[in-house]
A and B are shown apart, each in its own frame.
Chain A
Amino acid sequence: MKRLYTLLALTAMTASAFAQTGAPYIHDPSTLAECDGKYYTFGTGGGGLISDDGWAWHGGAVRPGGGAAPDVMKIGDRYLIIYGATGGGLGGGHNGRILTMWNKTLDPKSPDFRFSKPVEVCSSDGLEDQDAIDPCLFLDPNTGRLWVTYGTYFGSIRLIELDPATGRRVAGNKERDIAIDCEATDLIYRDGWYYLLGTHGTCCDGPNSTYNIVVGRSRNVVGPYLDNMGRDMLHGGGRMVVAAGDRKYGPGHFGRTIVDKGVELMSCHFEADLDRSGRSVLGILPLLWHNGWPVAGKPFRGGDYEIASERRGYSLELAVDFVRMERDIEPFFRIDPNSPVKRLDCQKLDEVEPSWPKGDIRVRCSDYMFRPHQLWTIMAVAEKGGYLSAPYFKIMVRGTHRALAATADKELTTVPEYGGADNQLWRIEQLTDGTYRIMPKAIPGMKGDNTRYCLYSAGDSTPTLAPYDCDSDNSKWRLEPVGDL
Chain B
Amino acid sequence: MNSSLSYYLGLLAVTLLPTAALSQTVSPATDRLVMGNSREMSVGVTVGIAGGDEHHLSRYASLPGKGSWLRYGSVDFTPLTDAYLALSVRARDNAELLVHEGSTKGKVIARVDIVVKGGGGPFRRDYSGQWMSLAVPLLHTPRGIADIVLTCKDTGVDVGWLRFKNRPKYFAPVTSAALRPDDQGYLRRWLLLEPIRQDIRSNVVFTDSYLQKAFSKEYFKGQMTRLPRDGQQVRVGNQRLKWHALDSENYNVRLFRFAERWGQQTYGSLFWAVTVIDSPREIRGVRLSVGSNGASSWWLNGDHVLTLEGDRRMVEDDARSGRLTLRAGRNILRCAVINGPGLSDFCARFLDDEGHAVVEPLTLILPKK
Point out which of A44, A87, A91, A127 has the most chain B C-beta atoms below 10 A from its C-beta: A127
Is A398 among interface residues, defined by CB-CB distance under 8 A?
no
Kindly list chain A residues whose C-beta atoms are within 8 Å of the C-beta of B318. Answer: 236
- Select which of A68, A126, A235 is within 8 A of B122 by beta carbon: A68
Given A120-B54, A200-B313, A236-B313, decide whether A66 and B125 contact each other with a Cβ distance below 8 A: yes
For the complex, give the distance between the alpha carbons of A128 and B82 in Å. Answer: 13
Q: Which residue of A lies closest to B126 (CB)?
A: A66
Is A377 among interface residues, defined by CB-CB distance under 8 A?
no
Is B118 among interface residues, defined by CB-CB distance under 8 A?
yes
User: Do B313 and A44 touch (CB < 8 A)?
Assistant: no
Kindly list chain A residues whose C-beta atoms are within 8 Å of the C-beta of B95. Answer: none
User: Do A153 and B123 touch (CB < 8 A)?
Assistant: no
User: Do B317 and A231 touch (CB < 8 A)?
Assistant: yes
For the complex, give the distance between the alpha carbons of A90 and B119 in Å. Answer: 10
Is B124 among interface residues, defined by CB-CB distance under 8 A?
yes
User: Do A92 and B54 touch (CB < 8 A)?
Assistant: no
Kindly list chain B residues whose C-beta atoms are within 8 Å of the C-beta of A208. Answer: 204
Given A87-B123, A92-B123, decide whether A120 and B52 contact each other with a Cβ distance below 8 A: yes
Given A128-B135, A153-B342, decide whether A236 and B125 contact each other with a Cβ distance below 8 A: no
User: Do A181 and B315 touch (CB < 8 A)?
Assistant: yes
Given A86-B123, A92-B119, decide whether A123 and B343 contact each other with a Cβ distance below 8 A: no
Which residues 277-295 of B sit at the A interface, judged by CB distance below 8 A?
A: 291, 293
Give the interface size bracket for A toward B: 35 or more
Interface of A is mostly: loop
Is A155 among interface residues, defined by CB-CB distance under 8 A?
yes
Which residues 120-151 of B sit at the A interface, judged by CB distance below 8 A?
A: 121-125, 127, 131-137
Is B32 among interface residues, defined by CB-CB distance under 8 A?
no
User: Do A95 and B311 touch (CB < 8 A)?
Assistant: no
Is A243 among interface residues, defined by CB-CB distance under 8 A?
no
User: Do A181 and B133 touch (CB < 8 A)?
Assistant: no
Given A126-B134, A126-B135, A202-B204, decide whether A235 and B316 contact each other with a Cβ distance below 8 A: yes
For the complex, give the distance between the alpha carbons of A182 and B314 in Å. Answer: 10
User: Do A44 and B122 touch (CB < 8 A)?
Assistant: yes
For the complex, give the distance between the alpha carbons of A95 and B135 in Å. Answer: 8
Which residues 299-357 of B sit at the A interface, judged by CB distance below 8 A?
A: 310-311, 313-318, 341-343, 347
Q: Which residue of A lies closest to B315 (CB)?
A: A236
For the complex, give the distance between the alpha carbons of A128 and B85 in Å. Answer: 11
Is A210 among interface residues, defined by CB-CB distance under 8 A?
yes
Which residues 23-63 of B sit at the A interface, judged by CB distance below 8 A?
A: 52-54
Q: Which residue of A lies closest to B317 (CB)?
A: A231
Q: Which residue of B lies closest to A154 (CB)?
A: B343
Which residues 157-211 of A sit at the B interface, judged by CB distance below 8 A?
A: 168-169, 180-182, 200-202, 205, 208, 210
Kindly list chain A residues whose C-beta atoms are within 8 Å of the C-beta of B168. Answer: 129
Given A92-B123, A154-B342, decide whether A236 and B135 contact each other with a Cβ distance below 8 A: no
- Select which of A66, A119, A123, A154 is within 8 A of B52 by beta carbon: A119
Is A256 among interface residues, defined by CB-CB distance under 8 A?
no
Which residues 67-98 of A sit at the B interface, judged by CB distance below 8 A?
A: 67-68, 85-87, 89-92, 95, 97
Q: Which residue of B lies closest to A155 (CB)?
A: B343
User: Do A119 and B53 touch (CB < 8 A)?
Assistant: yes
Kindly list chain B residues whose C-beta atoms are within 8 Å of the C-beta of A128. Answer: 135, 165
- Select which of A68, A89, A210 is within 8 A of B341 by beta carbon: A89
Is A125 among interface residues, defined by CB-CB distance under 8 A?
yes
Kindly list chain B residues whose C-beta atoms are within 8 Å of the C-beta of A231. Answer: 316-317
User: Do A169 and B53 touch (CB < 8 A)?
Assistant: yes
For the complex, give the distance between the alpha carbons of A120 and B90 in Å. Answer: 14
For the complex, give the distance between the alpha carbons of A210 and B292 in Å. Answer: 17
Is A251 among interface residues, defined by CB-CB distance under 8 A?
no
User: Do B123 and A237 touch (CB < 8 A)?
Assistant: no
Kindly list chain B residues whose C-beta atoms are within 8 Å of the C-beta of A67. Answer: 123, 125
Given A66-B125, A89-B342, A120-B53, decide whether A125 and B315 contact each other with a Cβ distance below 8 A: no
For the complex, give the distance between the alpha carbons of A180 and B347 in Å. Answer: 13
For the complex, give the distance between the alpha carbons of A44 and B124 in Å. Answer: 12
Is A121 among interface residues, defined by CB-CB distance under 8 A?
yes
Is B178 among interface residues, defined by CB-CB distance under 8 A?
no
Is A45 among interface residues, defined by CB-CB distance under 8 A?
yes
Closest chain-B Cβ to A444's Cβ sits at a distance in Å of: 49
Q: Which residue of B lies closest to A117 (CB)?
A: B52
For the complex, give the distance between the alpha carbons of A86 and B317 in Å. Answer: 33
Closest chain-B Cβ to A138's Cβ sits at a distance in Å of: 20
Kindly list chain B residues whose C-beta atoms are within 8 Å of the C-beta of A182. Answer: 313
Is B203 among interface residues, defined by CB-CB distance under 8 A?
yes
Is B179 among interface residues, defined by CB-CB distance under 8 A?
no
For the complex, give the distance between the alpha carbons of A119 and B311 in Å. Answer: 36
Q: Which residue of B lies closest to A44 (CB)?
A: B122
User: Do A181 and B317 touch (CB < 8 A)?
Assistant: no
Closest chain-A Cβ to B233's Cβ sits at a distance in Å of: 28
Given A85-B125, A153-B343, decide whether A123 and B54 contact each other with a Cβ distance below 8 A: yes
Interface residues as binary, A224-251 with B (CB distance below 8 Å gives 1, 0 otherwise): 0000010110011110000000000000
**Other than the known A89-B342, A97-B133, what 6 A-B pairs have Cβ atoms closer than 8 Å?**
A44-B122, A66-B122, A125-B133, A155-B343, A181-B315, A201-B311
Using a CB–CB cutoff of 8 Å, the interface residues on chain B facing chain A are 52-54, 84, 86, 118-119, 121-125, 127, 131-137, 165, 167-168, 203-204, 251, 291, 293, 310-311, 313-318, 341-343, 347
Give the 8 A-B CB pairs with smallest separation, nearest first: A236-B315, A45-B122, A91-B123, A125-B135, A235-B316, A181-B313, A87-B123, A127-B135
Return 28 A-B CB contacts under 8 Å, by A number.
A44-B122, A66-B122, A66-B125, A86-B125, A92-B118, A92-B119, A95-B132, A95-B133, A123-B54, A125-B134, A126-B135, A127-B167, A153-B313, A168-B53, A181-B314, A181-B315, A182-B313, A200-B313, A202-B203, A202-B204, A210-B311, A231-B316, A231-B317, A235-B251, A235-B347, A236-B291, A236-B316, A238-B315
